[in-house]
Structure 1
């Protein structure tokens, strides 16, 4: 899943970026409200982590603009304002949760995953195709019940492909979903990632395969589908 962190404190922003990336998220960070609005206008995110004390505008203005766009985006507000009125204003303004500074990273991560689960309407979603399964909360992938060790982006790729099946996973969508905007992505980065996942699934005994749809992207297929397309 891809997050946008809006935080002007450089050290905290870097800490949030490193921790959440280690936990399996793709993360973009911005330091002002205007940059946040621009990122939200051009990008696709699964959740927003929003500081209220921004240098150019109040974070509530960012949240209000996000809500007025008509597109729901789970949002956790970060703030040092501990007055009850401030917390109620944030929640009534459309925030899904409210975390007071200072906070533990583990608490923020737990609250973030909770709002994402509520947004998805699930507690633990299991995606599966053939003998391949992926648990979205634990990030475990299995083939015939046996765990397959995947790196972070390999797990993200598998989840994305299982979610869109039987549709084609568009390559450009993968680049946007799997990589933060600050990262430089080589021309063959996605192809190399798909190749590694394809090999790990095959070596694990998966009865599904990843087919390349030339000029478009990739699709997971069962053996009979692959035979029919041949």
Structure 2
């Protein structure tokens, strides 16, 4: 999962980014509303954490602009504006959830998971694919009931394919989900992740679509 964080407080932004990374998420962080608008137009994010007090453009204006353009990415407002009129205005402007500062990181993560599950059409935290079981909350997988040791990016790739079983992802699209803009991507990185997943699960778990990319393969 790739998350866009728009937060003008450097320490809060760093804390969020570090905490979400430890829970298997890839994050891009901006303090500017204008940069945030450009980021969401350039990358397919799974969710956005939006502060309302941003540089250049107020967070409410950013949200209104996104929704006016038809962008349906789930948005969690995270702000110090805790008055009821502010909460109602944020939700009525198109936010999917509203959380006031100070906050607990675990609650932010739980709300993000819930937003992303709903946006992808899943009501349960666990997805089964044959003998493979994925827990979307704990970012863990089991095969025949036995835990599979996965790196963060192996998990992200596996989760991406299992939650979109009919879709073919190009290498560029997979890179967008597995790496933030601050991280370098080796030329063969995706092929390496695919190889490791095939080795840890089975050789047919991921199908190569020549000239197109990768797709979920056969049930283990």
What is the TM-score normalised by the length of structure 1? 0.86
**Contact 1:127 / 1:159 at 8 angstroms: preserved in 2?**
no
Kindly report which structure 2 residues correspond to 1:1-230, keeping only aligned pairs within 5 A, or say none.
Answer: 1-124=1-124, 126-202=126-202, 208-222=204-218
Q: How many residues align?
A: 219
Counterpart of 2:183 in 1: which secondary structure?
coil
Alignment gaps of 5+ in structure 1: 224-230
The aligned residue for residue 228 of structure 1 is none
Deviates more, 1:213-222 or 1:56-65: 213-222
Q: 1:86 to 1:38 in 2, by over 3 A?
A: same
- Cα RMSD over matched residues? 2.1
Point out the structure with max Rg over C-alpha.
1
- The Cα of 1:174 is off from its aligned counterpart by 0.7
Q: 1:216 to 1:101 in 2, by over 3 A?
A: same
Q: 1:124 to 1:137 in 2, by over 3 A?
A: farther
How far apart in 2 are the matches of 1:126 and 1:86? 35
Alignment gaps of 5+ in structure 2: none
Q: Deviations over 1:93-151 (max 9, x none)?
A: 11122111121111211222222233334332544444333233333322223221212
- The Cα of 1:211 is off from its aligned counterpart by 4.3
- The Cα of 1:175 is off from its aligned counterpart by 0.6
How far apart in 2 are the matches of 1:170 and 1:70? 24
How far apart in 2 are the matches of 1:173 and 1:51? 27
Deviates more, 1:27-36 or 1:77-86: 77-86
